[in-house]
Amino acid sequence: MNSKVIDAIISPEENLGLLSKVEVGRLLDSSSGPLYDVFRSCALAVLNCDADIDDGHVLLARHQEFEVHVRQVERGIKLELLNAPTAAFVDGEMIQGIREHLFAVLRDILYTYDKVADNPNLDLKTSEGVTNAVFHMLRNAAVLRPMSEPRLVVCWGGHSIARREYSYTKEVGYQIGLRQMDICTGCGPGAMKGPMKGATIGHAKQRINDGLYLGVTEPGIIAAESPNPIVNNLVILPDIEKRLEAFVRTGHGIVVFAGGVGTAEEILYLLGVLMHPDNKDIPFPFILTGPESSRAYFEQVNRFIEDTLGIEAQQRYKIIIDDPALVAFKMKKGIAEVRQYREQIGDAYYFNWALRIDAEFQKPFAPTHENVRALQLHKDQPPYMLAANLRRVFSALVAGNVKDEGIRAIKEFGDFEVYGDASIMKPVDTLLASFVAQDRMKMEAGSYRPCYKIMLNDND
């Protein structure tokens, strides 16, 4: 047994104490099956915040004796934790932010299982149905703020970044906070934590007491990117595609810092959405930024986009190097244009209904070896469709790097084989090689072993 563990009984402080007997029955113990397994792994990730682990398989292996049980009592429910990581406690008391996150996990997993999956009113086989499902999950988590002005800045970037890059994310967050804008991230460490830290200071100076620090995650990635306790509203979507849609539906602009394959996946997702012909007139500020030490990284990403998606894709974003105040200024100006556009067309400020997200960006992609080999990676398709398929490549690599199911698949079947035309695969290979050289694939610098092989189609 891990000596740094603790047993505890935790009570909710709000309305999560009301669960039906059926709901409690599904989560009482490990005999409840897959639902319990998802709940246990997500709960463990929440409790393990700030740990130096970006491998879900390692985290689960390190805490094999951890258990979490829902206990129904006279006035509601309690969570019983056995062999929980001590990092979540101070002097034997659970940190308040982690307590909130723990019950957010319970809330979202049960809601997805009971109200979204197999719901005849939410047809997840249609694009409209998926968007409605995302809306309902966000509304249930109290993420949407109908009476608020547009001011939510989504920040993407790596969970394992250099110290100077991390400091830069805090500086940008500070400038965003000074301009009275809120922060949304993937909720983990690194570029997901830094902007929130900076914004707290900016908000404090502006005497903002209701600042939103929104964290959006999903069960497959949460163990590698455990929610940081600054997040004051955590929501867990059922898969990466719905997580990405939640970002672009709720956010009013996006800032991207340096990262690895996960960040590349996010960039390609957003570019593919914005490049759809139906979205060409919709304003959406999109900025790539970092300190001077990250210049080569952004030059490589920019070159990759030009080589694969073309100059049109490059027109959808700006690159700003080493100027946090300018990033925040441009973002606030861009969000003002978003507000004006939404007002003109009568769209909500809190949820971007007008944005067209093609079904190819919504279908959950299972990162199996067969599915990876079957990806259509050629230029004989609309650029936004190529972006959708390239996004899936990087999604598979995220799975192979840090997700438990992906790591196990690589161990059993070997590396992913990624086939495509030379005009696509050579830029992909160059970009991935640069990530490896810059230690952007794993926390343990220098230890990365690629989980993929670049393969050219027969005609190349």
Q: Looking at residues 264-280, what average pLDDT do you find?
A: 96
Residue 87 included in any domain: yes
Q: Is pLDDT of 361 > 90?
A: yes
Q: 240-250 vs 261-274: helix axis angle to the nearest 10?
A: 60
Regarding whether 402 and 265 lie in a shared domain, the answer is: yes
Per-residue pLDDT tens over the stretch 216-228? 999 888 877 788 8
DSSP 324: H
Q: Do 241 and 377 belong together in one domain?
A: yes
Which pLDDT band holds residue 351 (cuts at 50, 70, 90)? very high
Same domain, 9 and 88: yes
Domain extent, residue 363, equals 140-460
Angle at 363 between CA 361 and CA 368, to 5 degrees: 110
Runs of H (alpha helix) within 112-162: 127-140
Q: How confident is the model at residue 55 (pLDDT cuts 50, 70, 90)?
A: low
**In this model, does residue 212 exceed pLDDT 50?**
yes
SS3 content of the chain, % helix, strand, coil (to 5): 50, 15, 35
Per-residue pLDDT band at 72 (split at 50, 70, 90): confident
The set of residues, in sequence order, having a beta carbon less than 8 Å from that of 452 and lying 6+ positions away, is: 396, 397, 400, 415, 416, 417, 418, 432
pLDDT score of 450: 80
| 41-51 per-position pLDDT tens digit | 888 888 887 66
Instruction: Give per-residue pLDDT as tens, 411-433.
Output: 889 989 999 999 999 999 999 99
- Same domain as 425, residue 301: yes
pLDDT in tens, 2-17: 447 788 888 776 655 4
Amino acid at 25: G
Region of 282 please: left (phi>0), alpha (psi -120 to 50) or beta: beta
* pLDDT (0 to 100) of residue 8: 85
Mean pLDDT of 331-359: 96
The reply to whether 52 and 149 lie within a common domain is: no
Provide the pLDDT confidence category of residue 156 given band limits of 50, 70 and 90: very high
pLDDT for the residue 24: 59
DSSP sequence for 238-283:
SSHHHHHHHHHHH-SEEEE-S-SHHHHHHHHHHHHHHTSGGGTT--
| Residue with the larger pLDDT of the pair 22 and 264 | 264
Average pLDDT over the chain reads: 88
- The answer to whether residue 291 is domain-embedded is yes
Asked if residues 231 and 46 have their Cβ atoms less than 8 Å apart, the reply is: no
> Higher-confidence residue: 457 or 381?
381
Whether residues 33 and 175 fall in one domain: no
- Residue 26 sits in a domain whose CATH number is 3.30.1850.10
**CB hemisphere CA count around 324 (13 angstroms):** 21
Same domain, 146 and 99: no
Domain count, the chain: 2
Any alpha helices (H) in 85-231, and if so which ranges?
96-111, 127-140, 163-178, 194-205, 219-222
Do 335 and 235 sit in the same domain of this protein? Answer: yes
Report the SS3 class of residue 16: helix
Given 59, 86, 118, the domain boundary residue is: 118
**Same domain, yes or no: 96 and 152:** no
Residue 13 has a pLDDT of: 63
Q: CATH number for the domain including 285?
A: 3.40.50.450
133 in a structural domain = no
378: three-class secondary structure by DSSP: coil
Whether the model clears a pTM of 0.75, i.e. scores above it, the answer is yes
Report the pLDDT value the prediction gives residue 445, as an integer from 0 to 100: 47
pLDDT on residue 443? 46
Claim to verify: residue 97 and residue 206 sit in the same structural domain: no
Name the pLDDT band for 379 (thresholds 50, 70, 90). Answer: very high
Give ∠ CA 239-240-242 in degrees, rounded to 5.
70
Per-residue pLDDT for 301 more than 90? yes
Is pLDDT at 1 greater than 60 in this prediction? no
Looking at the domain assignment, is residue 134 inside a domain? no
More confident residue, 85 or 1: 85
Shared domain check, 449 and 320:
yes
pLDDT computed for residue 169 by the predictor:
98
Is residue 393 a part of any domain in this protein? yes
Beta bridge partners of 10: 79
Amino acid 86: pLDDT: 86
Least confident of 181-185, 199-203, 448-452: 448-452
For the ranges 144-153, 273-282, 398-407, which has the lowest average pLDDT?
398-407
Chain segment 94-153, per-residue pLDDT in tens: 898 898 898 898 889 888 888 888 788 888 999 999 999 999 999 999 999 888 899 999
What is the model's pLDDT at position 308?
97
Check whether residue 39 and residue 111 sit in a common domain: yes
Residue 58's pLDDT is what? 66
Q: Alpha-carbon distance 62 to 84, whole Å? A: 11
Percentage of the residues of the chain whose pLDDT score is greater than 70 = 89
